[in-house]
Structures are given as structure tokens and as C-alpha cells.
Structure 1
Amino acid sequence: MRAAVVCGLGGSLPPRIVTNDELAQRLDTSDDWIRTRTGIGRRHVVDPGTTTSHLAAEAGLRALKSSGHHTVDLVVLATTTPDRTCPGTAPTVAARMGLTDVPAYDVSAVCSGFVYALQAGAGAIAAGFAERVMVIGAESFSTILAPDDRTTSVIFGDGAGAVILRAGEPDELGALQHFDLGSDGSMADLITIRGGGAEQRSSGSPARPEDSYFRMDGKSVFFAAVRRMAESSRAVLAKTGWGIEDVDRLVAHQANIRIIHAVAGQLGLPPERALMNIERVGNTSAASIPLALADGFACGSLRAGDRVLLTAFGGGATWGSASLVWPALSSELTLPIENATPLLTAH
């Protein structure tokens, strides 16, 4: 059987950093309040004129460079913040990278988006449609947050992460092992933007100003996320034939430090095995897992042969998990993403 093998990795963060103290100057909050409840100390935010496609293309090019390849047969972009409602953003990303005539499409599963896109890329390779696939998670989440909403403004940040998959053998280092995906549309109101879609436009009523911004029922999301990520993780471990003791690294969606710790606790996994970069980048939605992988590799927390469990929960509601054995990647990515030299200099 053909397997999808991770052979490249890259990330991108906008240069502007917003600290908790800066947020506290305009919101009823403090650095201590934010850190205690979320584990976040700062986040990166796009400047005017920078969009999701800019971040995605930078991460994609960095991943392509680390893979040693020059092109791919397919680009799959997971995002909640497309450049436009129509058309999709993935073709724009491919064009920015100089990948002409390459099929490209978006996946919309909010914070679960990268795992969904990863499965789509692996499926394309398994079916013989592609030899190499670029999978990107990218967000400019700051553009959809209500400036006065303390519950969301302190959590989310912007960024992008990408991997390159190539066709290979199931027993190779880097081979994706198994997936578990799920959804429950009855929970759509937990994480949503009510305005701007066909539902609101066909209602005959004008959109309320607040409906153009992202809203989240934090308490309900917490319990649903912990439950679904733990259940999905157990399911994918059973498919893979791993016990929890076999997992070297848990890379959960970087939603909230308490959620990550709760998922690890539900699984019976020592908390030190959970890879986290949320303190420095916040919750970057679909970009959070690939950014955590890139940071983990750069700092040496991910080593070739490590058995890795990925898991996420997002709007929809959606959730998903995947297992893989970490590959021996190029040393191109040896510094934290913040210190990397941009590959794209012009917007």
C-alpha cells in the first residue's frame, strides 16, 4: 500500500507581537488573568494588507524548501479566514508560490481543519492521484475578532504552518498511520460567525453588526473539546495498535493550556509529553498543530522515531486525530519561526 510520508515542514508568523499587557490597556483584563485561564503570554497579529494567503504561501515555501522538492501535485489549505468569501484561497496561495496549473482547494473545519486537510492529502496519495501534496493550516484570525470581546481577543493569534507529504511505504519514518474524524452539526452555534453566509442573507433581515464577528461559547466548548479529543485519540490509537504508553508526543490543537492538560489527563498521558507553544503564539486555529510541530522540531522536542499523536476540536462541531512516526527531516528549520528569514518579501 502507498502511504503518505511527511518530508517537509515550515511555518510563518507575522512580525507584529501583541502582549497581554498591550491588551490590558484596552480591555478589562490583565496578564495574570489571561495566563491563568489560557496559558497565553503573547500572540502574533497581521499588519494591514497582510492576508491569510501571504502567511500560507510563506509557510508553504518554507516547507517545500525543507523537503528538497521544487513542486507538488496538490495544495490543500485549511483555514477559517479565507482572503475572500469567493473564490477559495488555496489557488491564490499556489500562485504566490509559483505553483502554476496545480490543483488547490480549501478545507473549512475551523480548528480541526489541519487534521481534515492532512487526511485529504494522505487520501490523494493513497489513491494514486498525487505523488507529493502540500498541506497548509493558515489563519489571520485577528481580522474576525470583535475588538471589545475579551473572551476571544485574548485567545487567538495569526500564523501558518505547512507540511509536505510524499508517496512512500507504511513502515517508513514519517508515514501517516491512521485517522479518526467526526462532526456534530447540532453544535454549530458553539463556535460561529452568524453573518455573511447564505443563512443570514436569505433571512430577509439585515445582519446585526455583532454578527460579522467570531463568537464562541467558551464553557461549552471546553467540555466538548476535552471529551471529543480524548475519544478521538483513543479511537486512532486503537486503529494504530498503540497503547497510551507508546505515545512519545501529544500534539493537540493549541486551544487553551487547560484543555491540553485535561485531554492528556483523560488519556492518562504524562503532561510533559504534550508539545505546547501556546504561550508564545496563542490559539492559531487551523495553523496551531503544524506550528507546534515546527516549533517542536526546531527546539529538538521532536526527534526522528518519536510516535506522535495529533488531535483537534473545532467549529462545526468537528474533531479529528491522526498518528505518525516522526521523520528525519532536513535541518533547514533549525531556529524558532520568529527568527527565520522570510522567503517572500513583497506582498
Structure 2
Amino acid sequence: MSNIFVTGASGFIGMHLSKALLNQGHKVIGYDNVNDYYDVQLKRDRLAILEPYDNFTFIEAGLEDRDRLNQVFENNQIDVIINLAAQAGVRYSIENPHAYVDSNLVGFVNILEAARHHKVKHLIYASSSSVYGANAKMPFSTEDEVNHPVSLYAATKKSNELMAHTYSHLYEIPTTGLRFFTVYGPMGRPDMAYFSFTKKILAGESIKVFNNGEMMRDFTYVDDIVEGIVRLIDQPPKANPAFDRENPNASESYAPYKVYNIGNNQPVKLMDFIQTLEKHLGVEAKKEFLPMQPGDVKATYADIDDLTAATGFKPTTSIDQGLKQFVDWYKSYYHNE
């Protein structure tokens, strides 16, 4: 069993991942600043699920707090870092860019330095499908160049991949970046569209459907994301001695570095997603059709062939199954039966 440091432990993916690791018998040290970007009570309620475990420890602090972060590593023998903490949200990055620099850039270099000085065996970190930006080729492949981000959030995630490669090159730290594709499920993020849609539909309010509903997203159920992460923990990347520097593959390296997509591999039209949500809510949504928003992309679609080859990972949860699980949780949590 390993000592695993999970940042963003009060977050959506962080809580579900921590619970899975604790159930496997790992010791999990959770770290999160529990900020008020969205409902703090929901974050506290996620932590309440983890706190009864004897093998769970929680530290409330930010990644920017270098002294506190270093203290954690000095006091614990940490084998693996799974860095999920970040300032999230595409649209919010337009309103508050400094929050993204502080958490996603300053915070991430602090994580890299901790990995460097404390001989961590594997650093897994959250990237995002948003790095594909203005790319039009589908499905998105990790072998594609991603040099045209359309939001600051996306730019910070691409920066994380570049920073990780530098540390893999300089210090031989095995780093794995995971480009998540539109994760949803119980105890999810209230700033995500499916969550706000549910709240508004049940309240009889209209929902805003951007790009007139002509969006496609590779919606990925949270349990599938967790399964993919867990399978990678014991597979730190190795340097590829056959790496072709004249024709480089963007997803790997001569250094112990790798980037994977982790998505459902089945994009769904936003209107189909909304219709499935309506079915499980038993209510038809009032829809306000609007143009594209700055920073948004029209479609996401994950090529996960390399992840499947490495781990056997294949998502198993359909949109119908996943949204039913979410709606059941939502009605129970908000006493909306």
C-alpha cells in the first residue's frame, strides 16, 4: 500500500478518487484550500465522507503556500502525488485571471519542487481537454500539437504539461498528465452546465443553451475517470529511448513523461444530453438559445487508444446511466424528491 498525496481532495474528482484509494487500503493525505469558487458546504460534505477513514488525513491549505506544502512532505513519506487542485472553469478565467496564475502555475511549480526534493515515485496531474483549443481534427489525440488555447484556463493547463516535462527532463521525475473530458456525476461541481441545468429545470427557470445547442461534449462519468487514474498509479512513465527528436510524438518523450486523454470516447450532442436529463428529472426544460461564449469550443472528443493500450481502461457508464445516478443524488441531497 502507498502513501498518496491527493490535492483537491474536497473537490469533485478528488473526493471520489480519495474514497476509492482509501477503500483499497492506501493511506491518503488530502490537501485543499476549500475556497468559495462554488458552494463550500458541498466541499465540506464531500470531506465528511472521507473523514471517518483511519487512513485519511486532511490539510486545509493552498498550493501557493509553499511553507505549508513543504511541511507536509517533510512530515510524511509520500510515494505518489495526484495533483487535482486547480482553479477550474473556462469562463471564470476571463473574469479572474490572477486566480489561475496563483493556483495553476505558482501552485503547480510548488508541487513539482516537492516531487523533486522528496523523491516521489510518480506525479500524476490533471490537465484538461481544453488544451485542444482551436483544433478542429477529431477525435482529439495526444499526438496532436496543442498550441492554440482559447482560454487562460486552457493555457495554464498546457503550461502544466510543459513544466512537468521540464522536471521529468531535469530530475527524472516520472510525470503523467491526464486531459479530462467534461466529468459529471454525483457530488459534482455546481458551476458545470449539467448541474446548473438541473437546478434551473426543477425550479421552473429557463436554461441557457449556448451555440444554439450545436455543441458536442465527451461527457465522462466520474467513476470511469477514477478507474483510469487508479490504473495508472503503478505505471509511472519510462523514458522512451526510441523517441524521434526529428519527428516528436507530443504525448511522450525521451524523459519519463506521458500525457493521456481520459474521456468517454463517445461525444454527445448537448441537446441529446439535455433530453436525457429531462427524462430522468421528469420535467421539460425551458430553453434560451444563445450564441457561443468566449473561451468555449464547439466539440470535444477523446482518442483514448494509448490509455486503453497501457491500462486496459475503457469507460463503461452510458449517459443514461450516469445522469440517472446524478439526478438520484441531486434530489436526495437537496431534498427535492
TM-score where L is the length of structure 1? 0.31
**TM-score, length of structure 2 as denominator length:** 0.31
